[in-house]
Structure 1
Amino acid sequence: MYVTQEILADIERKYGVPHVAHFRHVMVKVEFDLLLRSMRYNRAHDITLFISKGRHFVAIRKHMHPEGVFRAPSGGVNPGEDFEKGALREAYEETGATVELVRYILRAQALFEYQDQQVPWVSHVFTARYISGELQPIDTKEIAEVRQVLLEELQGEIRSKMIASGSGGLAYRVALTDKVAEILSATA
C-alpha cells in the first residue's frame, strides 16, 4: 500500500483526525472482479469527496450504475503521487470541478467479500468545497453523469435505488453516505 502512515499523519495535521468506522459487504462476482482489477500496484484505498456547492453536493453516476443512482465521487492516488494532488485530480476527472479539501471526516475500513475471498479496503472521506468549473465528467469512460444533489436526496430516493440494486459496492456507498450524514449533522 502506497498511502503510508506517514502520509496520513501529515494529512491529519492539515485536515483533522477523522472518525473511524468499520464496514463489511458481500459483493457479486462482477463487482468483486472490478475491485480486484483496481488493486494494481497494491492499491487498497480510495479517496471519497463530499463536495459542497451551496446547499448541494456534487454527485456522480458511473456507467455501470442504474439510472438515478448517484454517489460521492471517489478515486485512488497513483503510486508516487502526492495525496492531496491525487484527491484534487480525481475530483476534476470525475466532476469537472476544481475543489478545495476542507476536512478529513472519515476513515472507513471495509472488508469486501465474495464467496471465500476477502479484500480489505480503506476509504479516506473528505468534505471539499466547489471552487470553479463546469460540472461535467472529464473521464467519460468511467463517469456517465454529474449533478448536484441535496443530502436528503442521497439519503432518500437515491439511497433506495442503491439498496434495491443488490450491489454490495453500492450498499457500501450507502453506508458511507449515512455515516457522513451522521457526522455532518453532529457538527452542524
Structure 2
Amino acid sequence: MIQEMEEKFGRPEVLRLTQEITPEEMALVRSSQKHGRAHDITLFIFRGEKLVLIRKPIHPPGVFRAPSGGLNPGEPFEEGAKREAREETGLEIEIERYLLRIQVRFICGEEDIEWSSHVFSAKAVGGELAPEDTREILAARWATLEELQGPIREAVLAPGWGLLDYRVTLTDRAVALLQKEQSCAP
C-alpha cells in the first residue's frame, strides 16, 4: 500500500524520532490504536497560499495543526486520506505529494509505542471549510505558512506536551520540504 502511494505521489523523506510523552498522552495514543492502528495520515491542504488547520477539543486555546487521521481496516490509502480530509475539514481534496514519513517511538517510562506518520501535501478542490466530525474537531481555519510557523507554532509549543512537540517537529520538516518545492518551481 505504501509502495503504491510512493509510486503515485513520490518517495518521501524518512525521519526516525523518539518522543517522550506523559502518561495521559500515552493513554491518548493507546485509545487511538483500535484495530491495531499505529499510524496517522497528516494532510497539508492548500487553497492558493493558505492551508487549512484544525483544532481538537483536547487542544489548549490557540492550538491549531494540520488535519490527520487513520485508515479504517481494509480501506485503500488514498480513499482513507480523502475521507479524513472531508471529515475533519469539509473539503474535497486531491493529494499532490508524499512529503514525509516519520517513524516515531513514543516513550513514557518503561512503556513505548511505535508509530508512523505519513505526511502529504494536497489541494482543496471542493467543499466548504466546515468540519463534518464535530465530536473530534472543534474548529478549522485557513492560515498562511508564516502564521503556522509564527504565532500558531508558539501556541502549540506553549503547553509543553510531548505529542504537540512531536506535531511541531513534523510541521517544521513538512514546511521546509514545501518551501524547498516552491523555491524549485518554475
TM-score range, shorter chain: over 0.9
Matched, 1:89 2:90: no
In 2: Cα distance, 1:136 partner to 1:27 partner: 31
2:142 to 143, 148, 155: 148
In 2: Cα distance, 1:142 partner to 1:23 partner: 26
1:78 to 72, 80, 100: 72
Secondary structure, aligned partner of 1:177 = helix
The number of equivalent residue pairs is 182
Partner of 2:10: 16
In 1: Cα distance, 2:22 partner to 2:143 partner: 28
Q: Which runs of 5+ in 1 are unaligned?
A: 1-6
Paired letter, 1:28? T
In 2: Cα distance, 1:161 partner to 1:116 partner: 29
In 1: Cα distance, 2:22 partner to 2:139 partner: 24
Deviation at 1:68, TM superposition (A): 1.0
Deviations 1:5-61 (A, max 9, x none): xx1111111000000112221111222101011112111100000000110100000
- Root mean square deviation of aligned Cα: 0.8
Partner of 2:115: 121
Paired letter, 2:115? W
Percent sequence identity over aligned pairs: 49
Q: Which runs of 5+ in 2 are unaligned?
A: none
1:182 to 137, 152, 176: 176
Q: TM-score, normalised by structure 2?
A: 0.95
Moved over 3 A (4+): none
Deviation at 1:74, TM superposition (A): 0.2
Q: TM-score, normalised by structure 1?
A: 0.94
1:29 to 23, 33, 41: 23
Deviations 1:116-163 (A, max 9, x none): 111110000000000111111110111000000111111111111111
In 2: Cα distance, 1:185 partner to 1:157 partner: 18
What are the within-5 Å matches in structure 2 for residues 21-60 of structure 1? 21-60=15-54
Paired letter, 1:12? E
Paired letter, 1:165? P
In 1: Cα distance, 2:19 partner to 2:149 partner: 19
1:165 to 156, 159, 162: 159
Paired letter, 2:116? V
